[in-house]
Amino acid sequence: MPELPEVTTMVNDLKRTVLNRTIVDVWCDSKKNIKTPSFEKFKKGILKAKIEKIERKGKVILFFLNNKKVLIIHPKMSGHFLYGFWERAEDKWIPKSKGALNDPMNRFIHLMFFMDNQKMLAFSDLRKFARIELWDEKDLAKADILKNIGTDALEIGYKEFQDIIKKSKKKKIKPLLMEQKLIAGIGNIYSDEILFQAGVLPYRTADSLKKDELKKIHKAIKDILKKAIALAGSSVSDFRRTTGDKGEFQKKVKVYRRNNQKCLKCGTIIKRKKIGGRSAHFCSKCQK
């Protein structure tokens, strides 16, 4: 699933490509992903609308249109945007140029926006789990997709972070970092990397963490996420940039998916353990 760095990368790319562009047409072959309203009303609501602002809230992307509508897209497990030229052939969208858009992970196009500069904004989604909605800006607070999103992981202060930990008591730290209603944006990849930098084992309970460990985790949240954004996120599986290219952070991971390999810091074999239904990767020597 795209996490904060990947969604931030999408937003940054979208601002460079479609901000201030007007949507002139839209195509969709997976209308079930458009939850609100019907596809017909969705299409009518975005046609001839100019994209005035693009923002991220947690892992959700919001396009603010000049007709006071807001297009909301949650990429979920495998969604990502692509920008360029395609042609329709044999029920498939084929890129008109060679290059990264031809990456196999970019072929699952189920939503296509046609822009006023003749270019196209595609949404590729292998698993078709993405959620797409269109709201009147004045009613945005009613959108369930935006409710229960906690403080952004890049913005959370130490005091608020400390309070969350204190209230969580017996919850294990890795799934706690991933609880979106408390802290928004951290998922499986970055929780592993954050806890490795902080030197804390992922199965430690919140009430077992000392003050200096909390400070290290809080610092690591900002450090790791900023490094990942600088490298355009991680392309471990599905994620690609609007150019079709991969992010680069997966080349820098210290523990994520490195089980049975040597720790890059001390040489101990990296372990993998299921915690709350998710895999955690850690070094039993570097993390306590």
| Residues with catalytic roles | 2-3, 59, 278
Angstrom distance (rounded) from CA 134 to CA 241: 23
Q: Reduced to 3 DSSP states, what percent helix, strand and coil does the chain have, rounded to the nearest 5?
A: 30, 30, 40
Helix (H) or strand (E) holding 166: helix 158-168
Angstrom distance (rounded) from CA 212 to CA 9: 31
Amino acid at 236: V
Return all residues near 159 (Cβ < 8 A) that are at least 6 apart.
none
- Classify residue 263 as exposed, middle or buried by CB count within 10 Å of its CB (0-12, 13-18, 19+): buried
133 alpha-carbon distance from chain centroid:
17
What is the length of the chain?
288
SS3 132: strand
Going from the C-alpha of 167 to that of each of 10, 18, 55, 200, the distances in angstroms are 33, 42, 30, 19
Amino acid at 288: K
Hey, what's the torsion of the CAs at 53, 152, 196, 282, to 10 degrees? -90
Token pair in block for residue 90:
């044999």
